[in-house]
Structure 1
C-alpha cells in the first residue's frame, strides 16, 4: 500500500508546479485593467515625507516642485512605512475630454487618503477617503472614490498615510466607463461568493444530516475564508463601513485571518484524525492552535498592526505547511481518505505561498496576489476538500458507532474550552466597557454612574461632596501643530499626573475630549480647592513630550442643599469658564 501511495507524490508535485505557474503567469498579464480605464501607476510622481508634517501648501511651493520622482510601478507598493506618501498627477495627461466627468478609484484599504484637485492659481478642492473617513463617504463601495468634474484642474495630488501598509492600485475612468466597471465587478464578485456560499450551505446540510464534526469545522473554515476574502477586497468597508469603528477595520484582516487559521487547524486535526493516527502531530497541532488563539486575542489589544500582520503571514505559512505534511504522512500510512485532502491542501499551500512572497516583496506586487490568487485557491480547495469529506465519511461509516462516545467527549471538552474562553473574553470586555482606552481612566459612562451614586449619598446623608472639572489649556493647538498622536501623549501624561496627585482623595475620570472630572466624596469645598491647586502646580511644572510645557484650568464646586446633579455640574462648568476667561492656568470656584 505504501508503494502505491508513493505514486501520488509525482502527481502532487505536478499540481504544485502547474498551480504556481498559473498563479504567477498572470502577474504580467494586467488582466484587471480595462481598455476604457487608465491604470495610474506610472502616471504618478511621488515624494516621501518622513516628517509627516507637509501640507498641500508646502507641497505646492517651489521648494518641492522638483522633489517628486516619476513612478516606474504600475501598482504602487510602499509597504509598512511611517512616511507620508505624496503623489502627483498632471491632469492634461489623463483628462482628455474636458466635457466629461471622471472618477479616480483607489482600490486599496488605507487608513487615510486625501485627494487635492489643484487649479492653475494653486487653489484647490479636497476630498477625503480611507477608513478614517468611511462614515463621510457618500457612495458605499469597496474602493475609495473621488469625483472630478472641474475642467480647470491642472494637477491632482494624493496624500497617503496611516498605520496600515501604503499600497495604491488606482484607476481613472469616465463616469460611464466607471459604471460599466462596477456592474462587471459586482457580477463576477457575486459569482464567486455565490459559489462559495452554495458550497458552504451544502456542507452545512451534510453536517446536520451526518453529525460529523469535520463538516462543521469545514463550514466555519469556509465561512471565515469568505469573510477574510471580503476583508482583503475591502468589501467589509462597502457593506458595514458605517457600522463599525476605524479600529475594527484596521484589524479586521488579522482578526479574521487568525480565526480562519483556528478553524483550519481544527478541521485538519479532525479530518486526519491526528489523535489516533499521529499523536505527536496532534500535540503539535494543539500547540499551533493555542498559539493562534493567543494571536487572535492579541489583535484586539495590540497597537502594532505591522507586527500582527507579519505574525499572521508566518503563522499561515507554518500552519498550512504543517497540515499539508500531516496529510502526506497520513496518506503514506495507507489512509485513502487523505487523497483529495492532499490535492486541496496543495492548492491552498501554493496560493498562500504566493501571497506571502508578495507581502514580503520577494515577487513583484500585483493586485492578483490579493484578488485572484486566494479566490482561485479557495475554489479549488473547497471542491477537493468537499470530495475528501465525502470520501472520509464512506470510510468511517463502519467505525462510526464505536467512536461515537469518544467524539462526544471531545466535543464536550471543546465546548467547555470555548465557554471558558467566552467567560474570559466577557470579563475583559466588561473592564473595557468602563475604561477610557487612551488614558486608562474611567470613561464618561462610568464617571456618570459614580457621580450619580456619590450625589445620591450626599443628598440622602447630607455628606460633603465636591467635584473638580479641569480642561487642558489650548489643547486644540497641540493637535493642529503636532498632530493627534502628540495630543494623545499629552492626554496620557495629564492622566498620569492626575493619578499621582489625587491618589486616594478622589476618583478621576475622562469627562470628554481634553476635560477630566475628579469626584471628591466627603471633601468640603476648601479641601477640593487645595487639591485642584496642588494638581495645577504639578502639571505646570511637568515636562511633557514634544510640547514641553502645558497648563490646565480648573473649576471647583461642592454640593449644597437643594442642588440637583445638573445644577451642581452647571455651576462647576461656569467656574471652569471663569478660569479660562481669567487667563487660564488657574483655579476658580463657585458655591
Structure 2
C-alpha cells in the first residue's frame, strides 16, 4: 500500500523532470525558429553542383570549367537524400565575410567526407578536411564539423561532400564570428548538460520504481529509456564529440542505426510485457516475437551489409512498421476494456506523429528543417516516455483495484464457509497455531512463540514494576556430539534435554528452543536470586541425567533480571553476556549479569 501511495506522489516529480527536458528541447528548437542576428544560415547562399562522375577537381572548378553547371540554392537547409554523387557547394566570400574577423562555419551533419577550399585572388587555395574520414583533423572536440576562416583575402569558398552516406546527405550549416560561435558552443553545452541530466534523472527514478515494485515492465521501461538516451546522443552526434578520436570510422558511421535498433527492441519488449500481449492478443504476441527476431537479424546486418544506405532505409521503414504495429495492438488492448492502455495510447500516438513528421520532412513533403529531424522526434519521445511512465503507474493502480475486488470476493466466500464450518475452521486454526508456535524437533515453544511471550511479560514487568527474569542456557560442547555420533544422536539429545527442562521448571515458567542447542526460560514474577536457584536446580538435573548414547552432558546458564531502564534488547543482551561468562569460566555453571 505504501508503494502505491509513493508512486502517486512521485508522479509530480516525474512530471517536473519531463517538463524540464521538454523545456530544454524547446529552448534549443527556438534557436532555429528565431535565428540569432549574428549567425547566418548558409543554405540559400550556396550554388550547387552535382558531380555524377565523381571526377571533377577543385582546379577545374577554380578555372571556371563548370561555372554554368552550378545552380543557386532555394532552401536554407539542403537535403540530397542517399546519393553516390559528389556534391560541390560554392559560397561568395564577399557577400558573407564583412570586416576583419575570424569566422567559423559549422556543419552539424554526420558526413563521410567534407572538404572546404578557401580560394585566394590569385587562384591558389587552402583546404580543411572534416567528416568521419577526417575526425582527427578537427582540433576542437565538438559534435559538428567546424571550419575556421581567418583570412580576409578569401574570394570564394567551396565545399566538397562525398563518400557513402549512412544517413540522407544533408547540409545544415551556419556562419559565425568567433565571439558568437563561442557563446553558441557554451549555450549548447549548458542545455545539453541539463537535457541529458534530466533524462538520466528520469532513468534513475524508474530504476528505483523497478526495485520497489519488482514489475518486469519497469525493467523494460528502464531499458527503453537507456536506449532512448543512447539514440538521442547519437542523433546529436555526441558519439563523435566524445569518442571520435577513439572509435573507428565505420563504427561512428553506424552508431545511429545501432542505437535505433536497440531502441526498437526495447520498445517491443516493453510493449509485450506492459500490454500483456501473450494474455490478451496471442497472435499479436507471436507477431511481436517475429519483429524481435527481424530486429536481431537487421542488427547483425549493420556490421555485414556493405551498402549502409540499404540498412538505413530498411531501418526507417522498419521503425514506422513497428510503431504502427505497437499503436494498433495498444488500441486493440484498450478496446478489449483494459484501461491500463489509456496512457500508453496517448504516448504512442505522440511518438508516431513525431516520427511521421520526421519522415515527411525527409521526403520534402513538408520543408526539410533541422528541428523536424532532431527536436520534434525528441519531444515526441519525451512525452511518450512521460505517458508510458504514467501508464505504468496506472497499471499498478488498476492491479491494486483488481486485487481489492478479488479480495472482497474471497472475503465473502470465506465468510460463507466460516458460517458453514465454524467448528472445523476453529479446530484447524488451533492446530495451525500449535504448529506455528512449537519447535518441530523438541515439541516445546519455538523462537516465534518465545518472542511473543517475552514481549508480553516484559511490558507487564515494565508497567507494573513486577519482577521478571530470564535464563539462557545451552549444551556444552554440543558440536562434539554431532561430529562424533552424528546428527541423529544429536537430535535425540536435544529432544530429551527439552523434556528435562519442561518437567523441571515451575508452573508459571515458559521454556522454548532459542536456536540450535540454546534454550530460553522465561520466569514471570521472579527475582534474580530465585532465577539463580532455579538455574542451579536445572543444571544439576541435566548433569545427572543419562542421555542416549552420549550418557552425561553438562550445561551452562546465563541469568538476567529486569531492572528499570532495561529494554528487551538489553535484557537479552545481559543474559547472553552471562552465558558467555559461564562458558569462559569453564562451563557447567550458572552466571548472571545485573
TM-score band, normalised by shorter chain: 0.5 to 0.7
Pick the structure with greater CA Rg: 2
Q: Does 1:304 align with 2:299?
A: no
**CA distances 1:27-53 after superposition (whole Å, capped 9, x unpaired):** 999416322100000001111111112
Residue 324 of structure 2, aligned match among 321, 329, 333: 321
Q: Quote the offset at 1:155 in angstroms.
A: 0.6
Q: Find the counterpart in structure 2 of residue 171 from structure 1.
A: 174
Aligned partner of 1:79 in structure 2 is 81
What residue number does 1:494 align with?
A: none
The match for 2:397 is 394
CA distance in 1, matches of 2:172, 2:353: 24
CA distance in 2, matches of 1:30, 1:139: 23
Report the CA distance between 1:400 and its aligned residue.
Answer: 9.1
Residue aligning to 1:203: 206
The alignment status of 1:213 with 2:209, answered yes or no, reads no
Q: For residues 287 and 37 of structure 1, do their structure 2 counterparts lie closer, same or farther at Cα, with a shift above 3 Å needed?
A: same
- TM-superposed CA distance for 1:154, in Å, is 0.5
Post-superposition offset of 1:394: 2.7
User: Which ranges in structure 1 are unaligned for 5 or more consecutive residues?
Assistant: 1-22, 402-591
Q: Distance in 2 between matches of 1:112 and 1:264?
A: 33
The answer for unaligned runs of 5 or more in structure 2 is: 1-24, 405-594
Alignment of 1:452-467 (within 5 A): none
TM-superposed deviation, 1:393: 2.1
Q: Answer whether contact 1:229 1:374 (CA < 8 A) is retained.
A: no
Determine which of 192, 196, 199 is the counterpart of 1:193.
Answer: 196
- 3-state SS of paired residue (2:69): coil
Corresponding residue number in structure 2 for 1:437: none
- After superposition, residues 37-76 of structure 1 pair within 5 angstroms as 37-76=39-78
1:245 to 230, 243, 248: 248
Please state how far the C-alpha of 1:334 moved relative to its aligned partner.
Answer: 1.1
CA contact (8 A) 2:341 2:391 kept: yes
Q: How does 1:165-564 map to 2 (within 5 A)?
A: 165-397=168-400
Q: Could you tell me how far 1:263 is from its partner in structure 2?
A: 0.7
1:32–1:225 Cα change, 3 Å? farther
Q: Taking structure 2 as the reference length, what is the TM-score of the superposition?
A: 0.61
- Cα contact 2:29–2:375 (8 A) shared by 1: no
In structure 2, what is the Cα distance between the partners aligned to 1:283 and 1:398?
30
Aligned counterparts of 1:280 and 1:103: Cα–Cα separation in 2: 56
- CA drift of 1:187 comes to 2.1
State the 1:395 CA deviation. 2.7
Counterpart of 2:459? none
The alpha carbon displacement at 1:213 in A equals 1.2
Q: Retained in 2: the 8 A contact 1:27–1:366?
A: no
Q: Would the aligned equivalents of 1:214 and 1:271 in 2 still touch at CA under 8 Å?
A: yes
CA displacement, residues 385-413 of structure 1 (integer Å, 9 cap, x when unaligned):
11111111233358899xxxxxxxxxxxx
**Quick one: distance in 2 between partners of 1:32 and 1:131?**
30
Residue 119, structure 1, aligned to residue 120, structure 2: yes
Query: RMSD between aligned alpha carbons?
Result: 2.0
Q: Structure 2 vs 1, CA of residues 399 and 301 (structure 1 numbering), >3 Å: closer, same or farther?
A: farther
Does the residue aligned with 1:307 lie in a helix, a strand or coil? helix
Q: Between Structure 1 and Structure 2, how many residues are aligned?
A: 376
Question: Matched residues in 2 for 1:27 and 1:52: separation?
Answer: 36
Find the residue that maps to 2:303 and give its secondary structure: helix
Structure-2 separation of matches of 1:54 and 1:321 = 44
Residue deviations 1:212-249 (CA, integer Å, cap 9, x gap): 11111111111111111111121111111111011101
Match of 1:156 in 2: 157
Name the SS of the counterpart of 1:334 in structure 2: coil
For the residue of structure 2 that corresponds to 1:322, the secondary structure is helix
The CA distance in 2 between the partners of 1:301 and 1:182, in whole Å, is 37
Q: State the 1:63 CA deviation.
A: 1.3
Cα distance in 2, alignment partners of residues 90 and 215 from structure 1:
56
Is the contact made by 1:41 and 1:169 (CA closer than 8 Å) also made in structure 2? yes
Q: SS at 1:329's partner residue? A: helix
TM-score by length of 1: 0.62
Q: Contact between 1:218 and 1:263, CA under 8 Å: does it hold in 2?
A: yes
Q: 1:154-204: per-residue Cα shift (whole Å, max 9, x none)?
A: 111100011113210000000000011112222222232222111111111
Task: Tell me, in whole angstroms, the C-alpha distance in 2 between the residues paired with 1:149 and 1:60.
Answer: 21
CA distance in 2, matches of 1:279, 1:249: 39
Deviation at 1:71, TM superposition (A): 0.7
